Chain A
């Protein structure tokens, strides 16, 4: 049974989003997603300063025998990436909701509106089970 945290917002593609102050949203993949992927061996991070669009690919996550796109749950400018994942991608496996965060996006428009398009924890639980 994978963990779904109550204070986060979710996408159907198994990403989570966390308001991180101001217009900034922190993004990662869910416990369910890391579990499905298995041993993660490489995270392709977007460039800081690049633009991401909700639902579009912002990078990719490789495990030993598969690869999965990282879809950004929100639109905006990438203002930070988790550099620790370059040398230690396994952090996404061990701590998907905290140390294993992947990128931070500065949202153009309304934060509330962007988050309102995402799934609630209960809605996501229904998908992830």
Chain B
């Protein structure tokens, strides 16, 4: 068992340094001679005093206490934890991408603008939309931006619509984004097949409907087969259809939100386009729209002149304004561009096909051992229910914790909310059959353990550097920094 890891602050020894600054070759102006004393810091921030070896060993040790895709299988449903290609990392660090400034003259960043312009077009083609903004920094940011576009569209037509409809299986960001965009959320229950209930939808829509937000395939991994009727119902009521792109990994080159009738789309580049999630971010959530919403896009978008040069198009009087400083998470956009070009159109279709076959294979093999709330073909992910294990006192959380002992990152658990003891599995296309088989065998073993020796599962994990943590005390008596 590894000992407790010290905080970097606890390694501090007065007098040590880890920095090397340039020589200060200008006159030593006294701060108080140019800045009023009342604005100057009385006591320096008590940051640690360590040397470079401490820094490297500290963070190396922290990294060893962490689990990424490079460490092993990460079937976290709805998060599309596919392999993060190394070439993406290398090219994003090229000086011409990493060391440029957003306010440099346009003529000095033509390479970057060309990349952004091409990516705008590729994402538009992939999603079946007419124009794309690359500004939003994450999926939720894209949702809010998209809803603000929808709001601007309705307002431009003199309509005050107040409600956004979401299914009960939707991501929590959907209703939260609706609130920030000034909308009231109407949640509709899914039908017995896990899909949008058309009668419920018809009952919920009206002249106050601004939009329906939908993920397709949905968070249960099921394709909304009646998508055209759904679009018809919303459009007939004068509302717009919003596509949450979290599950796009199932459909690249196979179907497009634009062709399904969606008016606004966001894509999660940190899911579908392989950009690394960085332990929580950065992501990127570009938003695509149909032509009637183009005037409202955040400014600027990248334009191309007849002479082949590229420019920031800021002359957009109907724009909703800015949603992010500068032009979005450019470094992430470079990686996504590289990913798209690593596969090309046929390759991306292959990605989706393999992702869907992997998921169906896992579902088929796991079905005899867990409850399957929605049997049949799934898309890139599927849900199981662990409720059968409750009779042994074992819950889904315990299954997840036991998986840690076998070196896996557990699936998403307790989401979507409409499935009891939910286990949501998304293998992605970059995992081999051997990896899937080994994980499946482990899941089956844990289900058996739950029956024969529930305590074994309830006390898991055993092999991790810490055991289960006391989350209740953490929230009751918050210790949120080291107050050194």
Contacts and interface: CB of A to CB of B under 8 A. Distances in A.
A41 B414 contact: no
A90 B414 contact: no
Contacts of A41: 472, 475-476
A65 B475 CA distance: 10
Interface string A57-73: 00000111100000000
A33 B475 CA distance: 19
Contacts of A90: 472, 476
B199 interface: no
A44 interface: no
A89 B414 CA distance: 25
A56 B475 CA distance: 26
What DSSP secondary structure best describes chain A's contact surface? Answer: loop
B475 A62 contact: yes
Nearest to A88: B476
Interface in B425-484: 471-472, 475-476
A65 B414 contact: yes
A64 B472 contact: yes
A110 B331 CA distance: 66
A125 B475 CA distance: 31
What band does the interface of chain B fall in when counting residues whose beta carbon is under 8 Å from A?
under 10
Contacts of B471: 39, 64
Interface string B385-420: 000000000000000000000000000001000000
A47 B471 CA distance: 28
A39 B472 contact: yes
B416 to A, nearest CB: 15
Interface string A87-110: 011100000000000000000000
A90 B470 CA distance: 14
The winner among B414, B471, B475 for most chain A CB atoms within 10 A is B475
Nearest to B472: A39
Nearest to A93: B472
Interface in A6-41: 39, 41
Contacts of A64: 471-472, 475
A62 B414 CA distance: 17
A64 B468 CA distance: 14
A107 B475 CA distance: 34
Contacts of B476: 41-42, 88-90
B9 to A, nearest CB: 27
A42 to B, nearest CB: 7
Nearest to A90: B476
Contacts of B475: 41-42, 62, 64
A41 B476 CA distance: 5
A24 to B, nearest CB: 29
Nearest to B397: A65
A63 B414 CA distance: 15
Contacts of A89: 476
Interface in B108-134: none
A39 B213 CA distance: 33
A115 B176 CA distance: 36
A65 B414 CA distance: 10
Contacts of B414: 65
Contacts of A62: 475
Nearest to B414: A65
Contacts of B472: 39, 41, 63-64, 90
Nearest to A39: B472
A89 B477 CA distance: 10
A65 B396 CA distance: 14
A39 B468 CA distance: 15
A46 to B, nearest CB: 20
Interface in B12-42: none
A34 to B, nearest CB: 13
Contacts of A65: 414
A63 B472 CA distance: 8
The winner among B414, B471, B476 for most chain A CB atoms within 10 A is B476
A41 B473 CA distance: 7
B181 to A, nearest CB: 22
Contacts of A39: 471-472
A30 to B, nearest CB: 20
A88 B475 CA distance: 11
A39 B471 CA distance: 9
The winner among A42, A62, A64, A90 for most chain B CB atoms within 10 A is A64
Nearest to B475: A41
A62 B471 CA distance: 12
Interface of A: 39, 41-42, 62-65, 88-90
6 contacts: A39-B471, A41-B472, A41-B475, A41-B476, A42-B475, A90-B472
The 9 closest A-B pairs by CB, nearest first: A41-B475, A39-B472, A64-B471, A41-B476, A64-B472, A41-B472, A64-B475, A89-B476, A90-B476
Interface of B: 414, 471-472, 475-476
Given A39-B472, A41-B476, A42-B476, 13 more contacts: A39-B471, A41-B472, A41-B475, A42-B475, A63-B472, A64-B471, A64-B472, A64-B475, A65-B414, A88-B476, A89-B476, A90-B472, A90-B476
